[in-house]
């Protein structure tokens, strides 16, 4: 996960001034009296550290919440900055790692903390694919392959934001024809909302005027014991998948759907993340741990695929993931290198957070047997994923 273009950031006084991720140009100083919210602090997050202008668009800190869940966002990258839910003792615990400023996100050596990902989440082999007889080339920004939309994927754009109520944030973005090499003007809408059953709901929509691949997701990094609480290796995991997609050394799928039976990828019964992660297994070596797509087996609950259940060993916080997608990428924080500082002051140490990205399968444009991610003009892309939180002691 290497960012190919250096970001130049200027911090002036209490205002964060971030440079465009696309051009080396200085941005304008936002109005010092932008909002009253700029002077407030909540969960040690100060809105003034997010109020700025990037690519001539206003960036801010946003909150959605109810009595049992609170989520902070920035529209720079459509990122979840933090997510607070009660642990088994009733203490509000931040289970999504992130930074305390736009400066922190823009300069992070890990580009994807909390971000809304697109146009195409995950990898495309060699940054090339064919569509309607034409070959397209997109930036090969990850070991010779394209990852999460190229150099300036959706994690670096400023989304237009609207809050119809205090429980909902609507983010929209038009990705212009040719952006990062992708065809067609793509209009994207992502609605984040919190529900009364302590869940965050993610609704993705898109339309296009040319055939184009689309695979949207969110790249929150979780530690259910709380940001900065140490390793995630003792988290307990169930993933409702009978198969996974093996990868080569560049983490590109081979095209096979491999049975999890008898492998370290069998999470159909609960295991800790660390139980098999150091096993002598070629796939674990290719990913330096878990960085693989699991093929969901159709376990249904409330009309949706049940993808996974994770439990924090110290907090007792349980996260259940439901989706309309056919797969989920489980990443065990294998490339975290203590190079970035989270909002609570802890470093992003090795395997101190995991990601769980609902998705279509990686490299789908080049894998004829994988479910297609091509969106055609006149069609509507719609998919929903839900991350629901409770504790092991809750009576459901």
* Residues acting as catalytic residues: 219, 357
Q: How far, in Å, CA of 292 to CA of 266, rounded?
A: 12
Nearest to 244 by CA among 319, 320, 331: 331
Distances (CA, A) of 189 to 156, 159, 174: 16, 9, 9
Q: How far, in Å, CA of 116 to CA of 60, rounded?
A: 16
Q: Where are the beta strands (DSSP E) in 197-277?
A: 199-208, 212-213, 217-219, 221-222, 236-239, 241-245, 258-259, 271-272
The helix/strand/coil state of 306 is strand
Nearest to 113 by CA among 77, 160, 164, 150: 77
Residues whose CB falls within 8 Å of the CB of residue 362, separated by 6 or more in sequence, listed in order: 122, 123, 124, 245, 247, 251, 252, 253, 293, 329
SS3 content of the chain, % helix, strand, coil (to 5): 10, 40, 50
Token pair of 227, please?
Answer: 């940001």
The dihedrals phi and psi of 39, each to the nearest 5 degrees, come to -95, 0
Residues whose CB falls within 8 Å of the CB of residue 387, separated by 6 or more in sequence, listed in order: 199, 200, 202, 220, 319, 320, 321
The helix/strand/coil state of 179 is helix
Residue 103 parent element (H or E): helix 102-107
Residue whose pair of structure tokens reads 């609704």 in the numeric block: 203
Residue whose pair of structure tokens reads 């996100």 in the numeric block: 105
Residue 292 parent element (H or E): strand 291-296
Pairing of the two strands 291-296 and 317-323:
unpaired
| Residue 85: how many other CB atoms lie within 10 Å | 27
């Amino acid at each position: 996960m290497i960012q190919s273009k250096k970001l130049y950031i200027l911090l002036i006084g209490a205002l964060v001034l971030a440079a465009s991720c696309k051009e080396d140009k200085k941005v304008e100083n936002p109005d010092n009296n932008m909002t009253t919210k700029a002077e407030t602090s909540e969960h040690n997050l100060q809105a003034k550290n997010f109020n700025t202008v990037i690519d001539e668009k206003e960036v801010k800190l946003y909150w959605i919440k109810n009595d049992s869940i609170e989520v902070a966002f920035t529209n720079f990258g459509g990122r979840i900055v933090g997510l607070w839910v009660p642990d088994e003792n009733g203490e509000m615990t931040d289970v999504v790692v992130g930074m305390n400023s736009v400066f922190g996100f823009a300069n992070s050596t890990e580009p994807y903390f909390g971000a809304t990902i697109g146009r195409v989440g995950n990898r495309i082999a060699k940054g090339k694919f064919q569509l309607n007889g034409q070959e397209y080339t997109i930036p090969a920004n990850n070991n010779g392959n394209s990852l999460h939309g190229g150099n300036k994927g959706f994690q670096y754009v400023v989304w237009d934001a609207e809050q119809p109520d205090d429980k909902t944030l609507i983010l929209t973005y038009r990705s212009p024809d040719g952006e990062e090499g992708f065809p067609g003007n793509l209009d994207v809408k992502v609605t984040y909302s919190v529900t009364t059953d302590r869940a965050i709901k993610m609704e993705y929509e898109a339309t296009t005027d040319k055939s184009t691949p689309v695979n949207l997701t969110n790249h929150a990094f979780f530690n259910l014991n709380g940001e900065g609480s140490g390793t995630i290796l003792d988290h307990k995991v169930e993933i409702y998948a009978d198969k996974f997609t093996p990868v080569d050394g560049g983490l590109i799928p081979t095209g096979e759907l491999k049975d999890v039976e008898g492998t370290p990828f069998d999470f159909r019964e609960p295991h800790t993340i660390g139980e098999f992660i150091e096993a002598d297994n070629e796939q674990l070596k290719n990913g330096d741990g878990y960085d693989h797509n699991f093929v969901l087996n159709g376990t249904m609950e409330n009309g949706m695929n049940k993808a996974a259940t994770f439990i924090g060993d110290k907090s007792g916080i349980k996260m259940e993931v439901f989706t309309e997608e056919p797969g989920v990428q489980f990443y065990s924080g294998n490339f975290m290198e203590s190079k970035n500082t989270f909002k609570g002051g802890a470093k992003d140490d090795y395997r101190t957070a995991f990601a769980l990205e609902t998705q279509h399968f990686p490299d789908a444009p080049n894998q004829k047997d994988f479910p297609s991610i091509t969106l055609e003009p006149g069609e509507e892309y719609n998919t929903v994923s839900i991350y629901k939180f409770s504790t092991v002691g809750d009576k459901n």
